[in-house]
Amino acid sequence: MNAVIAYRVAVVAGAIALLEVLCLTGVIDKITMQAPHLIARDLFRLLASGQMNGAIVKTLTNTVIALVMALTIGVVAGALIHRWRGLRDTLDPLFATYYAVPVFAFYPFFIVVFGLGDLPQILIAFMLGVVAMIVNTLNGLDRVPTVLLKTARILRLSPVQTAMRLTLPAAAPYILTGVKLAVAYAFIGIIGSEFILSRGGIGYEISFAYTNFDNAVMYPLIVLILIASIAINSVLGRWERTLLTRRGMR
């Protein structure tokens, strides 16, 4: 286990070291990319100056809003769809092909309808995440053992109590898979649409820096996004591990 972690760190460190060497020796020229140690320095300066605080707050707030919407609406919709067989049969093929649709194609339309504010971005991020939540909630509910449903009836739980206390907790490991996807999708949705057209946010700042050849801003911000998504993913991964260990599923 420790050896695996050591190898993983070695791979990342090796890649960074390689970039460092390539940049310092001039194989990669300065206009293309700065050396990693300079990126780290610029990131530190950028964060210390506070000039990006507004963009960071905006992106994170919108991501969280879209995520919370996707999670709650996804789980509730999943639980409801699971109860109605006919609805399920109708929607299943749509869910299966949903991710073949490039959701970003709707972005111009949302801007036309809702204006160039936060709402179109939040909608894109929500649309990307919500179906992952629904599909994984359905998948989890499908796997709840029949005997637990019988237990709920013997204990005379109402449908809402059965969902809240029994079937959704039983489906939690699968729902968590949906959460991990929804987090990734929320980030992609928000930052991606900021990139395409917006008036602020980290995605906008990266795009702005890019058009101005401002490597001292662009690369640090890309690294910032990487760090944020890795951090969130490892927190969720830890949570998933405790959940599965407790259930003897790993």
> Does position 248 bind another protein by CB under 8 A?
yes
Q: Is residue 147 part of the contact set for another protein (CB under 8 A)?
A: yes
Distance (Å, whole) CA 93 – CA 131: 12
Q: Does 233 bind another protein (CB under 8 A)?
A: no
- Binding string, residues 167-186; x marks residues near another protein by CB under 8 A: --xx-x--------------
Q: Is 241 in the site for another protein (CB under 8 A)?
A: no
Q: Does 85 bind another protein (CB under 8 A)?
A: no
Q: Tokens at residue 170, please?
A: 């039983």
Under the binding rule (CB under 8 A), the answer on residue 231 touching another protein is no
Q: How far apart, in whole angstroms, are the C-alpha atoms of residue 61 and residue 58?
A: 5
Question: Using CA atoms, how far apart are residues 245 and 95, in angstroms rounded to an integer?
Answer: 30
Tokens of 210: 């890019």
Q: Rule CB under 8 A: is residue 246 a binding residue for another protein?
A: yes
Q: At what angle do helices 85-98 and 119-142 cross, to 10 degrees?
A: 120
Q: Which of 119, 166, 216, 232 binds another protein (CB under 8 A)?
A: 166
Q: Are 88 and 138 in contact (CB under 8 A)?
A: yes
- Residue 165 in contact with another protein, rule: CB under 8 A: yes
Total binding residues toward another protein, as defined by CB under 8 A: 22
Which listed residue (153, 160, 211, 213) binds another protein by CB under 8 A? 153
How far is Cα 250 from Cα 247, in angstroms, rounded to an integer?
Answer: 8
Binding status of residue 156 toward another protein by CB under 8 A:
yes
Which structure tokens are listed for 146?
């029949």
